[in-house]
């Protein structure tokens, strides 16, 4: 046991090993209660458009929830943990990537880097939300500070963010991108062009935008918030590379977000985020059992309210070793300048 009352090292492999085995029945149930349910609701929304757009907006709420749940399946496919067959996992992931507007192989690569570097101050910037230390923020020009403030603004993150991430950012091929990742992006773009073009021809471009946009933007905002609170909380783990530990980053730098039962369903238990960071081979339908078997009660626990309040945190204070708000960072600087 570590000083935090948590098993460390090789002991985890024996504790969590029984939960790393994919199971076909819950996997099929996951597919039925995620992407199949989402596509059925989308069909209902296109039909409801002829009756009342208000009805479309009402249906967009559960549709957005099922789209978030679809992402939990996509996430497991990226970790090759969803079903036993690697080929079936990759094929399902690529198909879901079109539904989610997300290139599968590209996202899998970015997310693997995220798991390997989360909480490492010297390896920030890939697959995570940009986080500056207080000194780094102060050293920026006024324009650099303004850009960071805009980036961390809730409106930009949760309203503009989904549009950029899902609609624009993941459509782009960047210089130096590996061929496999480039093909993933271009293949998803082509598939989306065919699917969207076909739907626009079938129902009309206006109807497509008015029906598809609400659930996608709702799910995108929820997804960004979930990803944010999983690693952006007051006592989150951040260390320089020479002091960084994979186990500590997983268990002290990944939150346990305790959500109401209905939200646990729609998020695929992703609130138990410390578990896949400890072992990415555990599928979402085994997360709760793994959490209970591992005795992980001492990980950072957050309520829904805590998760909403965590959005205020913007900078890592290296002296206090916690995330702080812009106001706290300014106040601490003023306090330091007094010499007190």
State the pLDDT at residue 199. 96
Query: C-alpha angle with apex 271: 147 to 250, nearest 5 degrees?
Result: 75
Contacts of 94 (CB under 8 A, 6+ apart): 104, 105, 184, 187, 188
* For residue 283, pLDDT beyond 90: yes
pTM, entire model: 0.91
State the pLDDT at residue 11. 66
Written as six digits, the tokens of 305 are 């309210």
pLDDT in tens, 225-251: 999 998 888 888 899 989 998 888 888
Give the separation between CA 230 and CA 172, rounded to whole angstroms.
26
Torsion region of 9: left, alpha or beta (phi above 0 gives left; psi -120 to 50 gives alpha): left
pLDDT in tens, 137-167: 999 999 999 999 999 999 999 999 999 999 9
pLDDT in tens, 4-63: 444 444 566 678 888 999 999 999 999 999 999 999 999 999 999 999 999 999 999 999
pLDDT in tens, 289-337: 988 887 776 677 889 999 999 999 999 998 899 999 999 988 766 444 4
Q: Is the dihedral of CA 304, 309, 311, 315 positive or negative?
A: negative
For the ranges 169-183, 191-205, 278-292, the maximum mean pLDDT occurs at 191-205
């Amino acid at each position: 046991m570590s000083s935090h009352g948590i098993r460390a090292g090789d002991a985890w492999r024996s504790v969590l090993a029984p939960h790393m085995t994919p199971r076909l029945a819950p996997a099929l149930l996951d597919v039925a209660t995620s992407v199949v349910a989402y596509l059925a609701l989308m069909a209902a929304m296109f039909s409801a458009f002829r009756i009342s757009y208000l009805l479309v907006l009402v249906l967009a709420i559960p549709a957005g929830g099922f789209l978030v749940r679809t992402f939990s399946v996509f996430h497991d496919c990226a970790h090759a943990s969803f079903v036993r067959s690697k080929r079936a996992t990759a094929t399902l992931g690529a198909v879901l990537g079109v539904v989610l507007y997300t290139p599968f192989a590209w996202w899998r690569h970015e997310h693997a880097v995220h798991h390997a570097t989360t909480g490492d101050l010297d390896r920030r910037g890939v697959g995570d939300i940009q986080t500056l230390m207080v000194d780094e923020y102060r050293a920026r020009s006024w324009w650099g500070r303004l850009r960071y403030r805009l980036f961390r603004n809730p409106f930009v993150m949760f309203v503009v963010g989904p549009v950029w991430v899902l609609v624009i950012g993941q459509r782009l091929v960047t210089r130096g991108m590996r061929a496999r990742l480039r093909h993933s992006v271009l293949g998803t773009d082509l598939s989306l062009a065919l699917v969207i073009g076909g739907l626009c021809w079938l129902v009309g471009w206006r109807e497509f935008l008015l029906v598809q946009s609400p659930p996608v933007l709702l799910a995108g905002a929820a997804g960004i918030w979930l990803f944010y609170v999983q690693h952006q909380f007051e006592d989150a783990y951040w260390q320089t590379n020479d002091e960084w530990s994979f186990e500590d980053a997983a268990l002290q730098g990944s939150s346990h977000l305790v959500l109401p039962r209905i939200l646990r369903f729609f998020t695929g238990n992703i609130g138990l985020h410390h578990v896949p960071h400890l072992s990415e081979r555990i599928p979402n339908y085994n997360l709760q059992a793994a959490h209970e078997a591992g005795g992980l009660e001492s990980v950072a626990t957050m309520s829904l309210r805590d998760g909403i309040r965590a959005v205020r945190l913007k900078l890592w204070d290296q002296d206090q070793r916690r995330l702080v708000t812009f106001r706290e960072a300014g106040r601490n600087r003023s306090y330091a300048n007094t010499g007190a």
